Amino acid sequence: MDPLSIAMLAILGVLIFFMFRNSRKRKAQMEELRDQMVPGVEVMTNFGLFGTLITMDTVKNEAEIEISKGVVVKVHSQTLAKVVTEDAVEDGAPRSVEEAMEIANREAAEREAASNDSTDSSTPEFGELSDSKDDKSSK
């Protein structure tokens, strides 16, 4: 057998190994998700519908989700994408876009005030031309 055939068989073996490994991993994730899907939890569907899981029929592959008070939607159980959990919010992290903009504007104002205090008006900044008389007389 020539080395090229051996290399091709080795690559094929590696590809098959990773294919089975990913399949097992995906199956374990789906099993974990199914264990979390119990009536009363907040769920999200593949198409972005949020609601509370009311019932789940594994024989018919149907689930009933209450999306608002009194409004129940029946969906296929495979459309349930994940269980929604409250993520821990870091201290000082903005909770909304408006709050993030306020923090960014405040920090920008602080940086501008600090840069105005630290720069001397007589020294040129990077890219500015110097208007001092010493430069003109030396030429």
Q: How many domains does the chain have?
A: 3
- Regarding whether 103 and 66 lie in a shared domain, the answer is no
Overall average pLDDT of the 94-100 stretch: 82
Q: What is the pTM of this model?
A: 0.48
Are 76 and 104 found together in one domain? no
Q: How many residues does the chain have?
A: 139
Of 90, 92, 65, the residue nearest 76 (C-alpha): 65
Residue 137 within any structural domain of the chain: no
Longest dimension (CA), the chain: 94
**Residues whose CB falls within 8 Å of the CB of residue 114, separated by 6 or more in sequence, listed in order:** none
Q: Is the pLDDT of residue 43 over 70?
A: yes
Residues 47-84: tens digit of each pLDDT: 989 999 999 888 998 999 999 999 999 999 888 888 88
State the pLDDT confidence band at 42, using cuts at 50, 70 and 90: very high
Share of the chain above pLDDT 90, in %: 39
The boundaries of the domain holding residue 23 are: 1-36
